Structures are given as structure tokens and as C-alpha cells.
């Protein structure tokens, strides 16, 4: 049976597209790009680029690094509702700390708390389990830390007197 032109033309177009993709890949993707001897542990990367990445300084570290010097804060947070949150989620990357003590921020702004604690009506989502507030109604004139202790929000903040904030 003889195939007609209306079958061959689309086939030629598809073959040309596939050929173009393969040619472009050959020209643009380096030869040492792949998964290499460790399989997918490090994902796709250039073998010639490994030394460059080994020299790259880690920006984020774990809460255990923070606990070495800040044992009191670590002990406060480890059994609190905030235990699953990395210190760096709120304080920023532990890049040069403690060498640069000003490297980490102590952000007491309302915006920091509200990014997780603004009420959102997602009933079937884990986000619904996080206690939320309406930031326009819940003491809008005060920073959250005036009443809540960030490292353990189930306790009042010992640094502030709750009576300072008037509804």
C-alpha cells in the first residue's frame, strides 16, 4: 500500500524537529554532563564543575549548629510548636555567623510571623493546622513578640509585659 503525501509530510516534520532537538543538545550540552559514578545522589551535573561546587561555601546550616552557642534558645524551641522550623527560616542564613555576629538578623516584625500565621481557610491542607490570625484585627498596633515568645509561642514573652499592649 502506498502512503500518501498527507502522511509523509507530518512524519518528515516530526523527524526534522527531533533531529533539530538532538543537534541542539549535542551543540549546547557539555560532554561531561551526566549523573556519573554516584548515580542520582547529586543529580545531573558537569563533572568538570565539581571542584567549583566543593569550594562553594554553605549558606544554610542546621539548628544543631545554632545549639552549640544558643543552648537556651534551642532548648526552648525543641519541644515547642515551632520545633520543625529551622532557625534560619526566621533569622536568615547562618553564612558567616559567629564570625560576623551581625550576619544574622533578629527580625521582630509582624510581617515575619504573619507570613505563616495569617489565617487561611484551607480546610484540607496542612496549612489549616497552623494557628492563624486576621492581622488587621489581632492587635494591629503591636509586634507579635510583645505577647508571644517566638522560640516557644505557647509561653508569654518574658522580655515584655503583656499590659503594654492595649486592644
Per-residue model confidence as pLDDT tens digits over 148-164: 888 888 887 777 655 55
In this predicted model, what pLDDT tens digit does every residue of 10-60 receive, in sequence order?
Answer: 899 999 999 999 999 999 999 889 888 888 877 888 889 888 888 888 788
In this predicted model, what pLDDT tens digit does every residue of 67-105 receive, in sequence order?
Answer: 888 898 888 888 888 888 888 888 888 877 777 666 677
Share of the chain above pLDDT 70, in %: 91
Distance CA 145, CA 106 (A): 11
Q: Is 143 exposed, middle or buried (0-12, 13-18, 19+ CB in 10 A)?
A: middle
DSSP string for residues in 121-151: --TTSGGGGS--B-TTTS-TTS-GGGTB-TT
Rg (CA), the chain: 27
Q: What is the overall mean pLDDT for the chain?
A: 83
Nearest to 85 by CA among 109, 59, 62: 62
Amino acid at each position: 500500500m502506498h502512503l500518501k503525501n498527507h502522511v509523509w509530510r507530518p512524519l518528515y516534520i516530526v523527524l526534522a524537529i527531533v533531529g533539530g532537538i538532538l543537534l541542539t543538545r549535542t551543540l549546547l550540552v557539555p560532554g561531561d554532563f551526566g549523573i556519573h559514578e554516584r548515580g542520582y545522589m547529586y543529580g545531573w551535573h558537569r563533572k568538570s564543575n565539581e571542584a567549583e561546587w566543593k569550594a562553594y561555601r554553605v549558606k544554610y546550616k542546621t539548628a544543631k549548629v545554632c545549639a552549640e552557642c544558643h543552648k537556651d534558645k534551642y532548648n526552648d524551641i525543641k519541644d515547642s510548636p515551632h520545633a520543625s522550623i529551622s532557625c534560619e527560616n526566621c533569622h536568615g542564613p547562618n553564612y558567616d555567623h559567629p564570625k560576623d555576629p551581625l550576619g544574622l538578623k533578629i527580625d521582630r516584625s509582624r510581617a515575619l510571623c504573619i507570613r505563616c500565621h495569617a489565617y487561611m481557610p484551607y480546610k484540607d491542607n496542612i496549612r489549616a493546622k497552623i494557628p492563624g490570625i486576621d492581622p488587621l484585627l489581632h492587635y494591629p498596633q503591636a509586634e507579635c513578640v510583645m505577647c508571644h515568645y517566638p522560640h516557644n509561642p505557647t509561653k508569654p514573652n518574658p522580655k515584655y509585659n503583656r499590659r503594654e499592649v492595649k486592644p
